[in-house]
């Protein structure tokens, strides 16, 4: 029986419909990714499952036995207790059982009582089934996994940041033991290490989960089913995000072909109707009415045209090419007070390379970009730009785009040589249409400001883009547009990002923080993981050595695989050769063969050749076996 079942659900507010005729079942242990642009109804769907909203049409059925949990149910209620004590509240029933067991043990120490012994055994089974033996360590482990230091776990909740309180609520939800947990952007406020911990936790979670997320890498690693709300429809299919994305493209192409075929048929019937009208006879009008009904039926079968990738059009042209050596960094170091961020960083960035900087929160990634941009002075080292380098900088906070100007005025002031019609066209390509261009900059969402910033960089024709978390406020569709634009970009890129899917698709080099050292490797995020996971965490070998060891290991594994394959083949050939020798010797021993001089000669030569082959195979087998 499903944990949740939705049948022909339509949801919306007043005259606005978010989605209609949605159908799905969530089974035990399902891991479902819920995706879609902002405002399409993802949070509304969660509220329908939680019973906080009623559908306009259809039914959402949640059986009584299904325990559904979400973060809002586990908000911090007492700011005076520590983070650890707050998380332990989710185990209130376990704590009560523990106290009762202690009381029973004390009572039984005075003398055996059958009723108390029976109660003790029953309670002990329930206690152990509810993680009673490990609930305290699980609570601390969850906080540590989500990025809390040991000191922070013992701090009062009231002294923690809003992001940390959200993490506490997330920890309580994960430990609640609910049959179905609803996670809304759970990777927000988490660094990469914490996200990886959450991924591993969800893989082992005994229960089902529905996850709203823009983190496609996270979705790929934690889900095996995907729901998307788009164009007023809900699509539900097997497969993680990447699988679904591929199937979606195939579905759209199929729907487009079906639409083209249907529209062609509609035009053919409309031509027939015009012809019938020209005749002007009564029976022709009856035919016309029939054909018009046929057109209505065909129009009803047309698929709604999907707006691919939010229709945002992004391309970064290069006005002038840079030299081959774009940026040389030598011996760069920076500290703030006693905190050393990085030291002795050196690398050469060449034209067309796309360098991504990764590392935990607070390690100094943005500071490093600002040092490279000469906005902050380095403590030591040098930064040299190559010939004809023109820089475009995408700032994470977008602080320069919070004026009271309208969107149109903001862009016009920066590019006064462009006409208003030209500006309207480029703004429309970034989804600022109609009255949208009259919005004031300080009223825009983070995603809208990011689009304005990207548009301005695009118009400058820069050949080096320095991007600080460019995907932070973008939905999945817009991120994919940005990815394609950067993959096609003929300039050079330096970027900071937590979006592992984005890094994997675009990066050709990785610069990563390793304690106070920054190391460079060729490749994308998967290449970085391969090298990171190939070495013990405490290894501090230089990156070239680490990469060399990794490659040597891979080569050794490949050679071992080839050795085993060849050994099996040699053993088979040895057996076949020995069998052929046995057959030739048997034929030579026949009386009928001994009187046939030519046959004896032929068999003798064959036998000599087989024995020679047997010697060679035996030698090879000895070498391979050793």
Q: Report the pLDDT value the prediction gives residue 589, as an integer from 0 to 100.
A: 80
Q: Report the pLDDT value the prediction gives residue 558, as an integer from 0 to 100.
A: 63
Question: From the centroid of its chain, how far is CA 421?
Answer: 39
Crossing angle of helices 114-129 and 92-109, in 10° steps, is 150
Q: Report the pLDDT value the prediction gives residue 352, as an integer from 0 to 100.
A: 94
Token pair belonging to 451 = 């689009």
Token pair belonging to 373 = 């941009």
Residue range 295-320: average pLDDT? 74
Q: Do domains 50-244 and 325-534 have the same CATH topology?
A: yes
pLDDT tens, residue by residue, 397-442: 776 666 778 888 888 888 888 888 888 888 888 878 888 888 888 8
Model confidence at 370: pLDDT above 70: yes
The CATH class, in words, for 325-534 is alpha beta
Q: Report the pLDDT value the prediction gives residue 308, as an integer from 0 to 100.
A: 42
Residue range 553-558: average pLDDT? 63
Starting at the earlier edge strand, list the strands of the sheet with 208-212.
68-70, 180-184, 208-212, 31-35, 225-230, 233-238
Q: Which residues make beta-bridge pairs with 71? A: none
Mean pLDDT of the chain: 86
Model confidence at 296: pLDDT above 80: yes
Which of 283-287, 374-378, 590-594 comes out lowest in average pLDDT?
283-287
Residue range 187-199: average pLDDT? 88
pLDDT tens, residue by residue, 8-59: 999 988 778 999 999 999 999 999 999 998 889 999 999 999 999 999 999 9
Model confidence at 550: pLDDT above 70: no
Q: Report the pLDDT value the prediction gives residue 483, as an integer from 0 to 100.
A: 92
Percent of the chain residues past pLDDT 70, beyond the cut: 92
Q: Which residues contact 136 (CB under 8 A, 6 or more apart)?
A: 88
Q: Report the pLDDT value the prediction gives residue 555, as an integer from 0 to 100.
A: 62
Residue 553's pLDDT band (cuts 50, 70, 90):
low
Model confidence at 117: pLDDT above 50: yes
Model confidence at 554: pLDDT above 80: no
In this structure, the dihedral spanned by the alpha carbons of residues 602, 604, 606 and 607, taken in order and rounded to 10 degrees, is 160
Q: Report the pLDDT value the prediction gives residue 311, as an integer from 0 to 100.
A: 57
Token pair belonging to 172 = 């309580």
Q: What are the residue boundaries of the structural domains of the chain, listed by start?
A: 50-244, 251-306, 325-534, 554-625
* Dihedral sign, Cα of residue 214, residue 216, residue 221, residue 223: positive
Q: Report the pLDDT value the prediction gives residue 557, as an integer from 0 to 100.
A: 67
pLDDT tens, residue by residue, 223-257: 999 999 988 899 999 999 999 999 988 888 888 88
Q: Report the pLDDT value the prediction gives residue 48, as an integer from 0 to 100.
A: 96
Phi, psi of 206 (to 5 degrees): -90, 90
Q: Report the pLDDT value the prediction gives residue 425, as an integer from 0 to 100.
A: 87
Residue range 123-144: average pLDDT? 89
CA dist list (Å): 599 to 339, 586, 593, 594: 90, 13, 7, 8
Percent of the chain residues past pLDDT 90, beyond the cut: 42
User: Which candidate, 35, 257, 81, 74, places its Cα nearest to that of 176?
Assistant: 74
pLDDT tens, residue by residue, 460-469: 999 999 999 9
CA distance 149 to 582: 74
Residue range 515-543: average pLDDT? 75
Model confidence at 548: pLDDT above 70: no
Residue 546's pLDDT band (cuts 50, 70, 90):
very low
Q: Report the pLDDT value the prediction gives residue 307, as an integer from 0 to 100.
A: 44
Q: Report the pLDDT value the prediction gives residue 178, as an integer from 0 to 100.
A: 94
Residue 105's pLDDT band (cuts 50, 70, 90):
confident
Instruction: Confirm or reject CATH 1.10.8.350 for domain 50-244, answering yes or no.
Output: no
Crossing angle of helices 135-145 and 162-174, in 10° steps, is 140
Q: DSSP string of 296-325?
A: HHHHHTPPPPP-GGGG-------SSPPPSE
Report which of residues 379 and 275 the model is more confident about: 379
Q: Report the pLDDT value the prediction gives residue 280, as an integer from 0 to 100.
A: 67
Residue range 219-224: average pLDDT? 96
DSSP reduced 3-state for 234? strand
Per-residue burial over 272-307, b if 16 or more Cβ lie within 10 Å, else e, is: ebeebeeeeeeeeeebbeeeeeeeeeeeeeeeeeee
Highest mean pLDDT among 106-110, 259-263, 490-494, 555-559: 490-494
Model confidence at 118: pLDDT above 70: yes
CA distance 480 to 186: 21
Model confidence at 522: pLDDT above 90: yes
């Amino acid at each position: 029986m499903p944990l949740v079942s939705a049948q022909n659900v339509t949801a919306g507010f007043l005259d606005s419909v978010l989605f209609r005729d949605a159908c799905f079942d969530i089974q035990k242990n399902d891991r479902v990714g819920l995706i879609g642009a902002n405002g399409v109804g993802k949070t509304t769907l969660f509220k329908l499952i939680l019973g906080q909203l009623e559908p306009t049409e259809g039914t959402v059925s949640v059986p009584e036995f299904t325990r559904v949990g979400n973060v809002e149910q586990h908000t911090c209620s007492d700011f005076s207790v520590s983070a650890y004590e707050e998380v332990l509240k989710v185990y209130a029933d376990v704590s009560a059982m523990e106290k009762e067991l202690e009381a029973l043990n004390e009572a039984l120490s005075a003398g055996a009582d059958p009723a108390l012994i029976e109660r003790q055994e029953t309670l002990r089974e329930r206690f152990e089934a509810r993680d009673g033996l490990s609930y305290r360590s699980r609570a601390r482990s969850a906080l540590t996994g989500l990025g809390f230091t040991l000191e922070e776990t013992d701090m009062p909740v009231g002294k923690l940041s809003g992001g940390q309180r959200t993490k506490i609520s997330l920890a309580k939800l994960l430990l609640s033991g609910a049959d179905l947990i609803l996670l809304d952007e759970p990777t927000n406020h988490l660094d990469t290490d914490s996200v990886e911990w959450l991924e591993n936790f969800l893989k082992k979670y005994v229960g089902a989960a529905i996850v709203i997320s823009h983190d496609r890498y996270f979705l790929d690693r934690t889900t095996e089913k995907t729901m998307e709300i788009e164009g007023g429809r809900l699509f539900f299919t097997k497969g993680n995000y990447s699988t679904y994305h591929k199937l979606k493209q195939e579905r759209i192409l199929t729907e487009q072909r079906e639409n083209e075929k249907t529209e062609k048929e509609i035009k053919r019937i409309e031509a027939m109707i015009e012809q019938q009208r020209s005749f002007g006879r009564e029976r022709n009008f009856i035919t016309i009415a029939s054909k018009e009904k046929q057109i209505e039926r065909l129009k009803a079968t047309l698929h709604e045209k999907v707006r691919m990738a939010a229709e945002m059009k992004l391309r970064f042209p290069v006005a002038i090419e840079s030299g081959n050596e774009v940026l040389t960094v030598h011996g760069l170091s920076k500290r703030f007070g006693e905190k050393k961020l990085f030291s002795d960083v050196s690398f050469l960035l060449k034209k067309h390379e796309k360098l991504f900087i990764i590392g935990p929160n607070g390690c100094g990634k943005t500071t490093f970009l600002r040092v490279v941009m000469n906005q902050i002075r380095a403590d030591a080292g040098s930064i040299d730009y190559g010939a004809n380098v023109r820089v475009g900088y995408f700032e994470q906070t977008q602080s320069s785009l919070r004026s009271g100007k309208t969107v149109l005025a903001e862009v016009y002031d920066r590019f006064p040589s462009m006409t208003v019609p030209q500006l309207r066209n480029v703004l429309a390509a970034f989804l600022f249409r109609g009255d949208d261009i009259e919005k004031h900059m300080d009223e825009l969402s983070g995603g809208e400001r990011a689009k304005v910033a990207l548009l301005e960089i695009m118009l400058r024709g820069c050949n080096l883009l320095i991007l600080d978390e460019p995907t932070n406020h973008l939905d999945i569709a817009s991120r994919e547009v940005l990815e394609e634009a950067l993959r096609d970009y003929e300039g050079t890129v330096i970027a900071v990002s937590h979006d592992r899917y984005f890094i994997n698709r675009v990066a050709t080099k990785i610069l990563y923080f390793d304690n106070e050292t920054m190391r460079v490797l060729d490749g994308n995020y998967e290449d970085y993981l391969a090298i990171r996971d190939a070495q013990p965490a405490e290894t501090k070998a230089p990156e070239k050595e680490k990469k060399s060891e990794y490659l040597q290991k891979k080569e050794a594994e490949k050679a071992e695989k080839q050795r085993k394959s060849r050994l099996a083949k040699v053993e088979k050939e040895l057996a076949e050769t020995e069998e052929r020798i046995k057959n030739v010797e048997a034929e030579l021993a026949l009386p009928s063969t001994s009187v046939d001089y030519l046959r004896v000669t032929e068999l003798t030569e064959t036998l000599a050749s087989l024995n020679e082959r047997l010697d060679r195979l035996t030698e090879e087998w000895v070498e391979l076996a050793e």
